[in-house]
C-alpha cells in the first residue's frame, strides 16, 4: 500500500503487481490458517472470490477467447458458490470467512460501478485489503484494535471505505477558505476547485471542456476518464489562459491511513457504540 501511495502521488498511476502480491499473500494466509477450506466441500466457496480478484488485477487484452474464459469462470464459480450455500447449507464456521470475503469483493465492485469509488486502482486497493483482512479482528496483535465490541458485524472493508472517505468532507471547506482568502468568488466553483493557469495544469482537471460540437461548456465535476491533456491543449489554442480546475486528489493518500486507523482503533460500529453508548 505504501508503494501504491507513492506511485499514485507521483504519477496518478498504480501498476497491478502490488495488488497481485497482496492478493497472493492474502489467499495464502487464508488457506494456511484455515486448511479445511481446501480439503472439504467448502472449497466450492473459494473459487468465486479467487476469480473475482484475479479478474480485477490481471491485465488482459479483451480478446474473444479471454472474454469467453472469464465469463465461463464466473458462471461456474458462481454456480458452485450458490450451490454450496443454498443447497449444501455450507455457511457456518470457516465458510463464513470466505462468504464475507466474497461479499466484500462484490461490495467494492458495486461501489466502483456506481462511481462511489472512482479510480480502478482505488477499487483494487480495497479488494486487496479485503483479501488480507476478510473478517473483523482476524489479525489481532498486541491488544489492537483499541475498541472491540460484539456488534462489529460488517466486513472490515466497509469501515475502511468509510474512514477513507471522511477527509473528502473537508476538501470543499479547504477550497472555500482558500478562495475567499484569495478573493476567488464564484459559486459553486469555489467549493470544488481554484482558478489555475492553463500552462500549469499537472494533476488538475479543468471545469471547462470542449463538447462534440466544439463549443465550450462548464463541467463542475470533471470525469477522470476524459483525456484532459487534449482539453487543456484546446483551451490554450483558444487563448484561454486561466480556468477553474479541480485537483486530481490521489485517493491512496486516504486509503492507507484509513487501513492503519482501522487496525489501531477498530470497526466503525465500535466507534459509534463508544460515542452514543
Residues 131 and 12 reside in one and the same domain: yes
- Residue 83 has a CB neighbour count (10 Å cut-off) of 14
Looking at residue 277, its pLDDT comes to 59
- 165-180 pLDDT, tens digit each: 999 889 999 999 999 9
* Contact in structure between 45 and 81 (CB atoms under 8 Å): yes
**Which pairing describes strands 204-206 and 242-247: parallel, antiparallel, or unpaired?**
antiparallel
208 has which bridge partners? 218
- 74-130 pLDDT, tens digit each: 999 999 999 999 999 998 888 888 999 999 999 999 999 888 888 889 999 999 999
Looking at residue 142, its pLDDT comes to 62
Distance of CA 9 to the CA centre of its chain: 16
Looking at residue 267, its pLDDT comes to 80
Do the domain assignments include residue 252?
no
Do the domain assignments include residue 200?
yes
> Helical H runs in the chain?
2-11, 17-33, 43-57, 64-86, 95-113, 120-132, 156-165, 171-181, 189-192, 228-237, 252-264, 268-276
- Cell readout for 85 is 450455500
Looking at residue 107, its pLDDT comes to 94
Residues 128 and 187 reside in one and the same domain: no
Q: For the chain, what is the domain count?
A: 2
Residue stretches of the chain with pLDDT short of 50: none
> Which structural domain range is residue 115 located in?
2-135
- Cell readout for 182 is 484569495
Do the domain assignments include residue 91?
yes
Amino acid at each position: 500500500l505504501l508503494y501504491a501511495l507513492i506511485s499514485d502521488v507521483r504519477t496518478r498511476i498504480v501498476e497491478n503487481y502490488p495488488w497481485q502480491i497482496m492478493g497472493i499473500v492474502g489467499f495464502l494466509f487464508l488457506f494456511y490458517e484455515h486448511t479445511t477450506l481446501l480439503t472439504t466441500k467448502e472449497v466450492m466457496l473459494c473459487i468465486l472470490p479467487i476469480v473475482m480478484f484475479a479478474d480485477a488485477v490481471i491485465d488482459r487484452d479483451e480478446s474473444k477467447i479471454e472474454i469467453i474464459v472469464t465469463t465461463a469462470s464466473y458462471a461456474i464459480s458462481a454456480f458452485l458458490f450458490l450451490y454450496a450455500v443454498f443447497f449444501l447449507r455450507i455457511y457456518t464456521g470457516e465458510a463464513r470467512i470466505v462468504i464475507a470475503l466474497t461479499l466484500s469483493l462484490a461490495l467494492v465492485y458495486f461501489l466502483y460501478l456506481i462511481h462511489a469509488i472512482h479510480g480502478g486502482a482505488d477499487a483494487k486497493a480495497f479488494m486487496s485489503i479485503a483479501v488480507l483482512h476478510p473478517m473483523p479482528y482476524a489479525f489481532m496483535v498486541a491488544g489492537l484494535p483499541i475498541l472491540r465490541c460484539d456488534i462489529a458485524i460488517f466486513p472490515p472493508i466497509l469501515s475502511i471505505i468509510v474512514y477513507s472517505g471522511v477527509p473528502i468532507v473537508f476538501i470543499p471547506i479547504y477550497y472555500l477558505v482558500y478562495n475567499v482568502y484569495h478573493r476567488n468568488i464564484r459559486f459553486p466553483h469555489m467549493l470544488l476547485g481554484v482558478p489555475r493557469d492553463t500552462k500549469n495544469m499537472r494533476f488538475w482537471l479543468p471545469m471547462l471542456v470542449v463538447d462534440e460540437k466544439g463549443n465550450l461548456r462548464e463541467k463542475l465535476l470533471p470525469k477522470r476518464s476524459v483525456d484532459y491533456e487534449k482539453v487543456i491543449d484546446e483551451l490554450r489554442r483558444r487563448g484561454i489562459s486561466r480556468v477553474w480546475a479541480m485537483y486530481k486528489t490521489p485517493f491512496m493518500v486516504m486509503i492507507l491511513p484509513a487501513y492503519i486507523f482501522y487496525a489501531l482503533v477498530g470497526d466503525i460500529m465500535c466507534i459509534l457504540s463508544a460515542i452514543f453508548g
